Amino acid sequence: MWHVTRKVISGFTTVLLFTLLVVTLFAVISSQAADGEPNIFGYELKTVLSGSMEPEIQTGSMIAIEPTENPTQFEQGDVITFTNPDDNLVTHRVHEVENDGEQYITKGDNNNSTDSEPVIAENIVGEYTGVTVPFVGYAFVFATSEQGAVLLLILPGVLLLAYSAFTIWRGLRQIEPSKKKEESVSPPRQE
């Protein structure tokens, strides 16, 4: 019974380490290819680094944004992602629509007042889809940093190699006693 359990645990550990390595490799490569933010099925994934939209969107979350082709289509209440005058991405709710959608007054749900600058339609990146994954943004920011990318690519690889070496060593240890047993059981050679 213990032998079967050990085999299952061993197989599970190998699959887990290999999966971790592949997923990490995919995440790091896709984020580097997309200049820091990956795309999945046409949706852009963005990391939320402030609490201006809490409680709906928590700090450290990763959100899905649907890129827009018509930035004048938004209405009051829509949540949009845009580039602000400091060239940072911001996700806030449309508070007012001005000039037939050529500019918007926005406000973070957790802020007391509207944003100081109106958002020009051409600065809108996309619309928030309602998909939020809490806390993943923290991990993604770390993974896309230089130190994080190195650590997350090297660590699973080293763990997989160490586990493979341990498995080989254990297998060789099991072979040695059976060889000694064979030698002691076999009759002496006559010359």
- Which residues form the catalytic set? 50
Query: Could you tell me the end-to-end alpha-carbon distance of the chain, in angstroms, rounded to an integer?
Result: 46
Within 10 A of 75 (CB to CB), how many other CB atoms are there?
9
State how far the Cα of 112 lies from the Cα of 182, in Å rounded to an integer: 82
State how far the Cα of 46 lies from the Cα of 184, in Å rounded to an integer: 67
Q: How far is CA 7 from CA 1, 11, 20, 168, 180, in A?
A: 10, 6, 20, 14, 25
